[in-house]
Amino acid sequence: MSGEVVLEAFDLKKHFPTGASKLLQRPTQVVQAVDGVSLSLRRGTTLAVVGESGCGKSTLARLLARLIEPTAGSVVLNGVNFTSASAKQVLKMRRDIQVVFQDPYACLNPRHSIGQSIGTPIRIQKTMSRDDEKRRVFELMELVGLSVEHYNRFPHEFSGGQRQRAGIARALALQPKVIVADEPVSALDVSIQAQILNLLEKLQADLNLSYVFIAHDLSVVRHIADEVAVMYLGKIVEIGTPEAVYGAPSHPYTQALMSAVPVPNPQAGSRRKRIILTGDVPSPVNPPSGCRFRTRCPKVQDICSSQEPMLIDRGQGHRVACHFPD
Amino acid sequence: MTEPLLSVRDLRVTFGTRDGDVCAVQGVSFDVREGETIAIVGESGSGKSVTANSLMRLNFGSDVRIEGQILLNGRDILAMSEEDVRRLRGNEMAMIFQDPLTALNPFYTVGNQIAEAYAIHHPNTSKRDLREIALQSLQKVGIPEPNKRIDQYPHEFSGGMRQRIVIAIALVNSPKLLIADEPTTALDVTVQAQILDLIGEMQQEHGSAVILITHDLGVVAEITKRVLVMYAGRVVESASVSDAFGAPSHPYTLGLLNSVKSLDSDRHTRLEPIPGSPPSLIDLPTGCPFHPRCRFAESLNGECISVIPEMKAVGNSWSACHLPVEVLSMSMKDSQ
């Protein structure tokens, strides 16, 4: 992979206190939403993070954009420590990292016109005069395929796909280098999903953007990613190129996840061998000792409960955290 | 051939709103035979859930008009009294809803809720028998430790477990027809695989026919044999799953398939989305409702814009499209 590293995370952790209140003087429980994630993102590439609900992928997205503060670890953006930066520095650094949210209905202020919403980051950062801002918003609307006549319309007048385009336009307003997209297409219909994915790919090519792409839909990810990280209970269990992760998944969880995805091809469906996991994802309040996947793993052995597997490189950056990888 | 179990003829559902009438379903017809599994696919607003709810006559309110015929074993559900419909619901036909948390009552134990579904249709069952039946149902749907779980409340279960309980309730009276409205949409993929397997197993055991409502083409390919594709309140294609996916006969079906990124496809190949977005049901386009998004619409002399296409046979499938059969199958092959 080419390009310099634009975003790096070192041993990021986010623990949310939960359970008993302070009044009762009981020790509070802790949800280990993200527990020791390190990753790096190169310019012009896409890193996709996949996993099921509760695996910590959205928390990770928020940590990377510093929408929430990590419990431990750090994020480095363009070589500058984003985590320890002062509020003033953070505001400035936000120009380089922007977020596209999942729900296009919730992420736009219903009382602001679309044009106003798209221009908000510019007004907050005071990078342009009002006239320039308007010109820039027109430019952005064209860029994402919205008609400029719609500048004064309100979010409820748009369809889900158009709203997501507006959300993307707003994220692009400050010409960021990195975009963190948290499930940007999961709320959209399939025919619209493809439109938005194509738009994201086109923008990446034109503007040399880097994406952190959070998704639960494995087929979407395959299309857009240069590197895929699979998360389970707050940790990355496997990471590598899509060729490696999809072609030769080595972690038993990745294998089960891949085989569980229904394929829209009746012939392939009957040929495939499906691994059906038993049980549910354990609670992140009290994750299993050792390997966190061991309670559902078909290959579990004694060592799995006592020793936590580390991410080990199996060649060409394909790293797997399992005692018995394939 | 034997009489179909369910026969829907020219079903029309209209909702009166402040902005005008919304024709959510416009002339849908299909049959379901005993023990058969069919899927209804479509995007949001295509009318698939409204169709499903109509089968159970769950669309109520003063501003709803339902026309047409829904024959279950030859009896028209739409012409029945509310009392008669109630006797059918949960008994001869049952429904699995999308969101298992809202489908269950938070104030009753799951055991009570399963027992209730049975007791309504078998009023003289003793309490002990009811408990036994609830226990067995929990066991059948794969709830571990049913003896303990029977007295727990919905919030004590995970999403997948809750959906198992909803399935247990739906199946407690061995219905002949099971309607599953997006049963796995709220679930994670690994849990989705468990639930789809369970529905398949339960169907085999009870011999029920299943109507699966979904937007996920993968789910369709995996568990059903026949599929109806809906768009803007109409069925646009009706075909076996292998025909619909292998040789789609309607441009919309083709577009849907092209939009779906198969796990087998290459990275960074450009997806082919359907341009535009689904039409508003208040203000439908004239003629074929798909024509503004259809890439073949221009090749015909305005027919697509003025005339609503009828269903016609294309090979083994049925398709509502003006394109001549030969052109259609040719262009479909080209663009696949």
B81-98 pLDDT per residue, tens: 999 999 999 899 999 988
A49 neighbors A57 (Cβ within 8 angstroms): yes
Residue B222: closest CA among chain A residues belongs to which residue? A269
The pLDDT mean for chain A works out to: 90
| Torsion region of A148: left, alpha or beta (phi above 0 gives left; psi -120 to 50 gives alpha) | alpha
The nearest CA of chain B is from the CA of A155 a distance in Å of 16
Distances (CA, A) of B96 to A38, A316, B71, B73, B116: 42, 46, 20, 21, 16
The sheet that has A80-81: what strands, in order across it?
Answer: A29-42, A5-18, A72-77, A80-81
pLDDT tops 70 at residue A229: yes
A50 neighbors A253 (Cβ within 8 angstroms): no
A228 neighbors A245 (Cβ within 8 angstroms): yes
**How much is the pTM?**
0.85
Q: Which residues are CB-neighbours of B329 under 8 A, at least 6 positions away?
A: B247, B249, B314, B315
pLDDT band at B159 (very low <50, low <70, confident <90, very high): confident
Predicted local confidence at residue A19, as pLDDT: 66
Q: Which residues are CB-neighbours of B121 under 8 A, at least 6 positions away?
A: B87, B90, B91, B173
- Measure CB to CB from residue A194 to each of B216, B267, B272 and give the nearest one: B272
- Cα B42 → chain centroid: 9
Q: Which of A306, A301, A323, A315 has its CA nearest to residue A251?
A: A323
Predicted local confidence at residue A266, as pLDDT: 73
pLDDT tops 90 at residue B62: no
The nearest CA of chain A is from the CA of B321 a distance in Å of 19
CB-based contact B261 A219, cutoff 8 Å: yes
Q: What are the backbone dihedrals phi and psi of residue B277, each rounded to the nearest 5 degrees, phi first?
A: -135, 165
pLDDT band at B166 (very low <50, low <70, confident <90, very high): very high
Please give the DSSP secondary-structure letter assigned to residue A176.
-
pLDDT tops 90 at residue B201: no
For chain B, what percent of residues have pLDDT higher than 90?
48
ipTM for the predicted complex comes to 0.78
- Measure CB to CB from residue B261 to each of A162, A222, A267 and give the nearest one: A222
Predicted local confidence at residue A84, as pLDDT: 92
pLDDT band at B177 (very low <50, low <70, confident <90, very high): very high
Task: Tell me whether B50 touches chain A (CB under 8 Å).
Answer: no
The pLDDT mean for chain B works out to: 88
The nearest CA of chain B is from the CA of A91 a distance in Å of 34
What mean pLDDT comes out for the span B218-237? 92
Q: Which of B58, B65, B78, B85 has its CA nearest to residue B9?
A: B78
pLDDT tops 80 at residue B151: yes
Predicted local confidence at residue A21, as pLDDT: 60
pLDDT digits (tens, 9 = 90+) for B293-328: 988 887 777 888 889 999 988 888 899 988 877 766
Q: Which of residues 123-182 of B touch A (CB under 8 A)?
A: 158, 160-161
Highest mean pLDDT among A9-13, A257-261, B20-24, B277-281: A9-13
pLDDT tops 70 at residue B336: no
Residue B280: closest CA among chain A residues belongs to which residue? A159
pLDDT band at A26 (very low <50, low <70, confident <90, very high): low
CB-based contact A223 B190, cutoff 8 Å: no
pLDDT digits (tens, 9 = 90+) for B232-289: 999 999 999 998 888 888 999 988 888 886 556 666 677 788 888 888 888 888 999 9
The nearest CA of chain B is from the CA of A100 a distance in Å of 21
Report the sign of the C-alpha dihedral through residues A247, A251, A254, A260, in that order: positive
Concatenated DSSP letters of A70-103:
-SEEEEEETTEESSS--HHHHHHHGGGEEEE-S-
For chain B, what percent of residues have pLDDT higher than 70?
93
Give the up-direction half-sphere exposure of residue B54: CA atoms within 13 A in the CB hemisphere. 32
What mean pLDDT comes out for the span A48-73? 93
Give the up-direction half-sphere exposure of residue B335: CA atoms within 13 A in the CB hemisphere. 23
The nearest CA of chain B is from the CA of A114 a distance in Å of 19
CB-based contact A260 B256, cutoff 8 Å: no
A197 contacts in B (CB within 8 Å)? 261, 271
pLDDT tops 90 at residue B212: yes
Highest mean pLDDT among B53-67, B93-107, B108-122, B182-196: B108-122
Predicted local confidence at residue B297, as pLDDT: 82
Q: Which residues are CB-neighbours of B281 under 8 A, at least 6 positions away?
A: B22, B23, B24, B45, B232, B233
Secondary structure, 3-state, A100-143: ECCCCCCCCCCCCCHHHHHHHHHHHHCCCCHHHHHHHHHHHHHH
**Structure-model confidence comparison of residues B94 and B330, the more confident one:** B94
Predicted local confidence at residue B266, as pLDDT: 62
A195 contacts in B (CB within 8 Å)? 273, 275
Count contacts between A and B (CB, < 8 Å): 136
- Measure CB to CB from residue A264 to each of B191, B192, B257 and give the nearest one: B257
Predicted local confidence at residue B10, as pLDDT: 94
For chain A, what percent of residues have pLDDT higher than 90?
69
Q: What are the backbone dihedrals phi and psi of residue B229, each rounded to the nearest 5 degrees, phi first?
A: -105, 125
pLDDT tops 90 at residue A313: yes
Distances (CA, A) of B313 to B48, B244, B323, B326: 22, 13, 12, 12
Predicted local confidence at residue A261, as pLDDT: 84
The nearest CA of chain B is from the CA of A85 a distance in Å of 36
Predicted local confidence at residue B249, as pLDDT: 87
B216 contacts in A (CB within 8 Å)? 262
Predicted local confidence at residue A133, as pLDDT: 94
For chain A, what percent of residues have pLDDT higher than 70?
95
pLDDT digits (tens, 9 = 90+) for A174-228: 999 999 999 999 888 888 888 999 999 999 999 999 999 999 888 888 888 999 9
The CA angle A216-A219-A222, to the nearest 5 degrees, is 100
Residue A243: closest CA among chain B residues belongs to which residue? B267
